Chains A and B, each alone.
Chain A
Amino acid sequence: MTGFWLIVHRDVVMAWRQGGDGLMAIMFFLITVTLFPLGVGPESGILARIGAAVVWVAALLATLLSLERMFQTDFEDGSFDLIAIAPLPLEAVVLAKCMANWLLTGAPLLLTAPILAMMLHMDREGLAIFVVAMALGTPSLVFIGAIGAALTVGARRGGVLLTLLVLPLYIPVLIFGVGAVEAAVTGQSAQPHLLVLGGLLLGTLPLGLWASTTALKQALE
């Protein structure tokens, strides 16, 4: 196994043995979405109208939960110093960490989101597009989140600060993620929205890797 896959494997196994970040994110996701029908009222028309937005916003918040620990724990126990002096470039380390983070939170979100969307009365055309949009959008969220996680390594009140830094950058994913579903539900083509989501993924991949790596190098200095 190369260093890259070792890091992915290590992060997934460690999170799994510590009780699972992924499970916590899913529980948070479920509870947040459940609050909306209780607050807004159970009429299926209103829920169908706001369903896509509610599930997307809850998914954004759920991905935030695991970000704080993405690099912080490794910095605290000193293992990041060892990872940094290993021959694997730091960009690849960040990519491996992002991949592990997506497997632990993004993938479980992707599996539960359609169930929640159905509970909010999203129709069939919307549901298919919703899953595609989530699949394209959640990796972008991880790459953007990695920037915030790397910048706040060692910061005071890192968790709150992370929210302040990352949520404004999440907005484009939210807009086009919800836009795709709305287009599908109203009988228009969802393709332009999905293409923009794909473009965002292609843009956030290099941006996230560059910015996180630079920030981590500074934290190591």
Chain B
Amino acid sequence: MVDALISHYNYWLIIILMMLGLYVVVSRGNLVKKIVGLNIFQTSVFLLYISLGKVSGGTAPILTGKPEAFSNPLPHVLILTAIVVGIATTALGLALVVRIRESYGTIEEDDILISERSQDASDINGSSA
């Protein structure tokens, strides 16, 4: 049992990271912190992919002529793509936060909700925003 836990330590770390990230996204009201959480969450997935490509005793898959064990390079390649996607998401998210800050004057979710509620109320009363 303990052996199983220890031999899969990478997965435990990944799960902890994943849950941490998700928790930050859900629990923080600050829009930037949410994006930080999202990044942690995504990073844990990167680690998941990278660690599953590992072959014990394997090296980097470079042809040297000698028959050797190689780590599986495919997950690494995949995760390169995913990292790019992650960066794009972060950049876009931060750009949105900047715009939100410009028009709402805050990046706290609660304050934004309050000002949106009042806008909703004025919509119903017919005056356009």
A-B interaction = no
Q: Chain B interface (Cβ within 8 Å of chain A)? A: none
